[in-house]
Structure 1
Amino acid sequence: MKSRKGKSAISRQTYPSDLTDAQWAILEPLIPPAAPDAPHLMYERREIANAMLYVLRSGCPWRMLPHDLPAWDTVYWYFRRWQREGVWEQILHALRKQVRIQHDRAPEPSAAIIDSQSLKTSAVRGPEKGYDSGKKIWGRKRHILVDTQGNVLAVKVTAASRSDQQGGKRMLELLVGLFPRIKLVWGDSHYAGDMILWLLQHLGWLTETIRRPVDSSSDQGTCDLATTKKENASSSGFRPLPRRWVVERSLAWITRWRRLCRDHEGLPASSEAFIMLAASRRMLSLLAPPFP
């Protein structure tokens, strides 16, 4: 394999985002061979994947890829090609099954958690942008569905102005027949009401709403003042909500990648592809840890 400087991939300096040999052995069968119309067939698929992971981790623009990696336009061509052909979804589902088996779970989940995250966008032009009046954010909203381990099942990116139910339906309507074992989905109060009936009718899923605990000390009445202060002190601070913390942790994992700390993509489909790439990279590290 040659790069733009004619160097071999082995001789170049490695980057922290590069795939290890063990990780590439897992990923290679999941990536389709180069198409006859693919540009620059001199590049190995492993280096194409390494370049995508470099962009994901560093957050750099495509045109600022280092010169010892494949040309940026070639990498972007493959990135969009694999997005249009559904390769990112196939990789995500295949790796998730392997991770679940590794943790002594059934390959397919029987329950899931849904949530959303609003975040700002950069100055890049593109569709699906709006204002989230609740979060006071102009940008886009990520809707994700995860299993009880936090592994991503599905993702959809919409304008931040869309409600959680609207975006959730756009994501879930594509999953009909995809996860037959799922019978229960958890979500916060934004997914109550009409969403409960919609999930039951379209997917056959039962819904359990996760609500924040009511602070009984707020209704003080004639309670003793010292007792009230003690209750307030014990209830203050961070308290993770059952089940919901799993999906919130998954959203935190996603935003750890610099490319995903805000939405830099012109197309929502590219944002979804990067999220699936980040989730797949995490699962590769679980299957083949970079350090023994």
Structure 2
Amino acid sequence: MVDAQAVKGADTVGTDTRGWDGGKRVNGRKRHVVTDSLGLLVVVLVTAASVQDRDGGRLALSRAKTVMPSMVLVWADGGYAGRLVAWVAEHCRMTLDIVRKPKGKVGFSVLPHRWLIERTLAWIVRGRRLDHDYERLPAHSEAMITPLAVDPRGVTLSEHFLRLRPIAVTTAARKNDHRLVRAMDSILPLNSV
């Protein structure tokens, strides 16, 4: 799946790498994201917000074919319709399928396949540093987004440890194994939780 997301740029974003997205009314950058069928990141491309979805999609999909050669079908929204469909078929040897709203449907409706990439975009902006673009260079923005491919929920190892620590401490206390409790306190003291 491929989609784009426009985000506001902070003062640190240079004027040469920012632009105005008239559709979203955002002055900043645009993130072009390609995901697999589970919604996990394959490629992230950051451009000025003034770049059209079709133009950014061309670069992002050519990168995606390099990273994941087995990709043969890509779903996209109506912003990618037009000449891009033929270009992707010819140059990337993939099928670009445009997912449209069912005829006669008025208002909001969950579109098949599209909700996966929308969920991925929601995961991205959930990160505090990623709700706006603060980086000076687009490559730095891409580097900030890429770790979400490892754990898209944004949960760090310390958060996993904090969830498991009370269980481990109470289990060790029940077994009267005070050495284990002291060892865990030396790694992460209880008052730092």
User: Do both proteins adopt the same fold according to a TM-score greater than 0.5, normalized to the shorter chain?
Assistant: yes
Match for residue 16 of structure 1?
none
Does 2:20 match 1:131?
Answer: yes
**Whole-angstrom CA distance in 2 between matches of 1:205 and 1:130:** 30
Q: Does the C-alpha gap of structure 1 residues 180 and 125 become closer, same or farther in structure 2, counting only changes over 3 Å? A: closer
Indicate the SS of the match to 1:281: coil
Indicate the SS of the match to 2:3: strand
Could you give the per-residue CA deviations for residues 37-77 of structure 1, whole angstroms, max 9, x where no partner exists? xxxxxxxxxxxxxxxxxxxxxxxxxxxxxxxxxxxxxxxxx
Could you give the per-residue CA deviations for residues 178-219 of structure 1, whole angstroms, max 9, x where no partner exists? 322211110011111111111111111011111123336xxx
Match for residue 242 of structure 1?
112
User: Could you list the runs of 4 or more consecutive aligned residues of structure 1 that deviate by over 4 angstroms after TM superposition?
Assistant: 283-287
Q: Does the C-alpha gap of structure 1 residues 148 and 132 become closer, same or farther in structure 2, counting only changes over 3 Å? A: same
Match for residue 50 of structure 1?
none
Determine if contact 2:123/2:154 at 8 Å carries over to the other structure.
no
Does 2:10 match 1:122?
Answer: yes
Query: Which of 162, 185, 190 lines up with 2:51 in the alignment?
Result: 162
TM-score (norm 1): 0.51
**Whole-angstrom CA distance in 1 between matches of 2:156 and 2:115:** 20
Q: Does the C-alpha gap of structure 1 residues 177 and 157 become closer, same or farther in structure 2, counting only changes over 3 Å? A: closer
Does 2:147 match 1:277?
Answer: yes
Q: Does the C-alpha gap of structure 1 residues 176 and 250 become closer, same or farther in structure 2, counting only changes over 3 Å? A: closer
Match for residue 152 of structure 1?
41
Determine if contact 2:42/2:67 at 8 Å carries over to the other structure.
no
Give the counterpart letter for 1:258 in structure 2: R
Which has more strand, going by share of residues?
A: 2
Structure 2 gaps of 5+ residues are 165-193
Indicate the SS of the match to 1:139: strand
Indicate the SS of the match to 2:67: coil
TM-score (norm 2): 0.75
Q: How many residues align?
A: 161
**Whole-angstrom CA distance in 2 between matches of 1:137 and 1:209:** 25
Give the C-alpha shift of residue 281 in structure 1: 3.4
How high is the sequence identity, in percent, across the aligned residues? 39
